[in-house]
Amino acid sequence: MNVILASQSPRRRDLLNLIGIAHTVRPADIDETPRAGESPIACVERLARAKARRIAAGEPDALVIAADTIVVVDDHLLNKPVDTDDARRMLRILQGRRHDVYTAVCATWAGREAAGVEDTGVWFRPLDDRAIDAYIATGEPMDKAGAYGIQGYGATIVERVDGDFFTVVGLPLVRLTRLLAEIGISYDYGRLDI
């Protein structure tokens, strides 16, 4: 079965490899701007569906997997930082408190589509400006929603996770296998069966 990951995220590639799903990567170029008044859950699911549909339109026989992740604190979306000052601002907001990570997944195959959103609570330890600047200097925060990556150096600033760890990484694997079943594909530990 031809499987396409509609994402350029190396973390999502790693997670599909982890569970034995061979795939090719074809990022979907879409406008990721949130709509006025759109809830975080509606936004992240809309984006995952749009990515999957964009790639599926040109690959109707492929299984397309798409995902989108956003970080929310106090009803404010924290997307990828635009520069180091923006990353610093985000990390100052997140330090010493809880925030939510929403990851939506969409799977399409043979004209079928299923999508869903996972919500995971994450708590950061308190961080002073020196710790924030040292983390930013690693370069890790710059391409990640909320300016951190839990699977790298950012693991040292996360005190607690309430929910699916893989949601925070960017691809909730249990949700993915459920969505595959909804569109008629069973996951059998590294094998996909119709």
Q: Which amino acid is located at 87 in the chain?
A: A
Residue 75 has pLDDT above 90, yes or no: no
**What confidence score (pLDDT) does residue 48 get?**
98
Mean per-residue pLDDT, 69-98: 96
Q: Is the model's pLDDT at 67 over the cut of 90?
A: yes
pLDDT average, residue stretch 16-42? 95
**Tokens representing 71?**
């970080």
What structural domains does the chain harbor?
Answer: 3-189 (3.90.950.10)
Q: Residue 107 — pLDDT band, cuts 50, 70, 90? A: very high
Q: Are 42 and 102 in contact (CB under 8 A)?
A: no
* Averaged pLDDT, 1-13: 96
Of the listed 61, 68, 86, 188, which one is catalytic? Answer: 68
For residues 65 and 52, is the Cβ–Cβ distance under 8 A?
Answer: yes
- Point out the least confidently predicted range of 75-79, 84-88, 115-119, 131-135: 75-79
* Buried b / exposed e along 65-103 (16+ C-beta atoms within 10 A): bbbbbbbbbeeebbbbbeeeebbbebbebbbeeebbbbb
Bridge partners, residue 102, by sequence: 70, 119
Task: Reply yes or no on whether 68 is catalytic.
Answer: yes
The β-bridge relationship of strands 191-193 and 186-188 is: antiparallel
Check: CB of residue 194 under 8 Å from CB of residue 185: yes
